[in-house]
Amino acid sequence: MDNIKRKGYLLGDLRYIFVTDQVLLDINKEFMKHNYFTDIITFNYNNNKTVNGEIYISIETVYRNSKKYGVSFKNELLRVMVHGVLHLIGYDDKDETERKRMRGEEDIWIKGYLERHGKIDF
């Protein structure tokens, strides 16, 4: 996660938890007070500039979105995983300006990943 360092943070305890739509809906209702499906929910446990958190991702929604956006499942999953980390370091997506800024940063991180690894290898 060179990008985390580039942004002035250290990587601490970062956990990805892959779940079903229903599980993420239940989490969304309980903790966010939202009654709708989503692809990701991030819980921030940062300690100053050390990134700590849990990132819950609905594999079912990621799969559907990969078809919707015409990208591979792995590409969409990588984007969502990066998206969660960006939330942990202060990015938000509540309005169009924030979404564009966040999407641009996602693109930078994904490009860097592909330059280093040549492909999505998970």
Alpha-carbon distances, residue 48 vs 36, 43, 45 (angstroms): 31, 15, 9
Task: Please spell the DSSP secondary structure of 63-79, one letter per residue.
Answer: HHHHHHHT--HHHHHHH
What CA–CA distance (Å, rounded) separates 52 from 54?
7
**pLDDT above 70 coverage of the chain, percent:** 99
**Res 33 pLDDT > 90:** yes
Q: Which domain holds residue 14?
A: 2-117
Does a structural domain hold residue 33? yes
pLDDT in tens, 84-97: 999 999 999 999 99
Does a structural domain hold residue 113? yes
Provide the domain count of the chain.
1
Does a structural domain hold residue 122? no
**In this structure, what CATH number is given to the domain that contains residue 30?**
3.40.390.30
| Average confidence score pLDDT of the chain | 96
Does a structural domain hold residue 68? yes
pLDDT in tens, 38-55: 999 999 999 999 999 999
What integer pLDDT is reported at residue 121 of this predicted model? 79
**Res 1 pLDDT > 90:** no
Residue 78 CA, chain-centre distance (Å), reads 8
Res. 58 pLDDT band, cuts 50 70 90 = very high
